[in-house]
Chains A and B, each alone.
Chain A
Amino acid sequence: MTVLITALPTIAQMAGVNRVLRGVSITSPTGDVSLAAADELGLRRQILERALALLAADVAPATVWEVAP
């Protein structure tokens, strides 16, 4: 099973992806260049924790989650 992290969740939904997590930006789905390195790693970890939670969740088709719950 797959979770897709992308800043273009609408396209992912159109393509039939069932578990989508909204990424930070198109050029940097799992990072944020405006943050200090330690904070960025913390954000990346938070993104992954949400991605794992989405994998462990019972979802309807084409579900999109935000990183901030």
Chain B
Amino acid sequence: MIVVHYLNQFFAGLGGEEAASLPPSRIEGPVGPGNGLRGAGLLVDTTLACGDNYFAEHEADALSQLLAWLGAIKPDVIVCGPAFGSGRYGYACGVLAREADRLGIPAVCAMAPENPGVLAAAGHAYVIPTAPNVAGMRAALPLVAGLARRLGQGEPVGGPADEGYLPRGLRANTVASKSGAERAVEALLAKLAGHPRTEVEPDADRVAPAKPLADLASTTVALVTESGLIPVGNPDRLPSRHADFWLRYPISDVRSLSPEGYQSVHAGFDTTVANADPNRLVPLDALRLLEQEGRIGTVYGYLYTTSGVDTPVSAATRFGQEIAAELVTAGVQAAILTGT
């Protein structure tokens, strides 16, 4: 089994911040935390190192050199870090791990769960969560070494709860000992007995509530919907399910959403009632009244829409981020989102 270990300049012993601009380098054998991995039963063949600033400022160049070495070495597994709470180091670990995995090299990272490197790995790496500082080294290395050894030897690896790595956003098929009907009845009985439980924990993106709006009368309010509302005839061919894009339509000259002008193509509910009066999906007529009375500043000039049917969370997340970015750039302070 061939093992490669990625470190930043500090953990590779090349220097501190003054060495953070060093380009990638290649060292034979284990260095620094690599010695700890050896103590935990994982022998590092080659250590790759790069300055944190060099990677951040020259990502394409750094990655190109590091991947070229990986291509030549052909390791069975790569370990990146531990990077703890270090953002630049963690990011480099996450990106390198992701690209290594794309080349077919299993990757194990270790870093604090809040480290941006977890997102950078984009589900491609097994990320062992660590403390935010180097005090977590001793606890992390045996977990990293054990997981990397098994991945490198092609042994099966269990789910995140069993193995202790962070969820990668993937689902794996497993064989259950009881049928779905039996498990559903058991879950129902448990709920009736006052002990609700679930086999599937929703993986929600928790954010703190935004601060309250201070002055509604000067606020620009946007209307956003997943109800599949589009101009009659669906000129941009919004799919009625599995939509992989959203649309934006000008409404600055529209007082009310008439059934002659608008309709819903949403495949997830009976649109009869909504198509008779599309304001039932997007309350433009009433919002215009509040605008006229000065209760809000203005209604933003575009309606944002998609059809939220069988939409993967990843796609919905992207829609939300893209729409929010446009609204923020346009100076919109509030959005009223309607869902069906």
Given contacts A3-B337, A27-B270, A44-B285, are A52 and B295 in contact (CB under 8 A)?
A: yes
- Contact status A61-B273, CB under 8 Å: no
> What CA separation (Å) do A35 and B116 show in the bound complex?
51
Which of A14, A18, A41 touches B202 (beta carbons < 8 Å)? A14
Flag A31-59 by CB within 8 Å of B: 1 or 0 each: 10100000011001101110110011111
Could you tell me the distance in whole angstroms from the C-beta of B35 to the nearest C-beta in chain A? 42
A68 on interface, CB distance cutoff 8 Å = no
Interface size on B, as a range, is 35 or more
- Contact status B338-A5, CB under 8 Å: yes
Given contacts A14-B204, A18-B209, are A5 and B279 in contact (CB under 8 A)?
A: no
Flag B7-47 by CB within 8 Å of A: 1 or 0 each: 00000000000000000000000000000000000000000
> What CA separation (Å) do A6 and B224 show in the bound complex?
12
> What CA separation (Å) do A25 and B333 show in the bound complex?
27
B218 on interface, CB distance cutoff 8 Å = no
B191 on interface, CB distance cutoff 8 Å = no
Which residues of the other chain, B, contact A41 by a CB distance below 8 angstroms?
Answer: 285-286, 289
Count residues of chain A with CB under 8 A from any CB of chain B: 39
Which residues of the other chain, B, contact A15 by a CB distance below 8 angstroms?
Answer: 202, 204-205
Among A15, A27, A61, max chain B CB count under 10 A is at A27
- Contact status A44-B279, CB under 8 Å: yes
- Contact status A1-B210, CB under 8 Å: yes
* Number of CB contacts from chain A to chain B under 8 A: 131
Could you tell me the distance in whole angstroms from the C-beta of B331 to the nearest C-beta in chain A? 14
B309 on interface, CB distance cutoff 8 Å = no
Chain B's interface: helix, strand, loop or mixed, by majority?
loop
Q: Which residue of B lies closest to A45 (CB)?
A: B286
- Contact status A47-B296, CB under 8 Å: no
Which of B212, B281, B334 touches A2 (beta carbons < 8 Å)? B334
- Contact status A6-B339, CB under 8 Å: yes
> What CA separation (Å) do A27 and B228 show in the bound complex?
12
- Contact status B337-A4, CB under 8 Å: yes
Which residues of the other chain, A, contact B274 by a CB distance below 8 angstroms?
Answer: 27-28, 31
> What CA separation (Å) do A49 and B271 show in the bound complex?
25
Which of A12, A48, A58 touches B336 (beta carbons < 8 Å)? A48
Could you tell me the distance in whole angstroms from the C-beta of A47 to the nearest C-beta in chain B? 7
- Contact status B269-A16, CB under 8 Å: no
Which residues of the other chain, B, contact A56 by a CB distance below 8 angstroms?
Answer: 212-214, 216
B136 on interface, CB distance cutoff 8 Å = no
Could you tell me the distance in whole angstroms from the C-beta of B159 to the nearest C-beta in chain A? 21
- Contact status A29-B204, CB under 8 Å: no
* Chain A contact residues, CB within 8 Å of chain B: 1-8, 12, 14-16, 18-19, 23, 26-31, 33, 40-41, 44-45, 47-49, 51-52, 55-61, 63
Given contacts A16-B204, A16-B205, A27-B271, 13 further A-B contacts (CB under 8 A): A5-B337, A6-B339, A14-B202, A19-B209, A29-B339, A44-B279, A45-B286, A48-B336, A51-B336, A52-B295, A55-B219, A58-B211, A59-B209
* Chain B contact residues, CB within 8 Å of chain A: 202, 204-214, 216, 219, 221, 224, 227, 269-274, 276-277, 279-283, 285-287, 289-290, 295-296, 333-340
18 A-B interface contacts by CB (under 8 A) = A2-B224, A2-B335, A6-B338, A6-B339, A14-B204, A15-B204, A15-B205, A16-B206, A30-B338, A31-B281, A44-B280, A44-B286, A45-B289, A49-B295, A55-B213, A55-B216, A60-B209, A63-B209
Lowest 7 CB-CB distances: which A-B pairs, in order? A31-B280, A1-B210, A6-B339, A18-B209, A16-B204, A44-B286, A30-B283
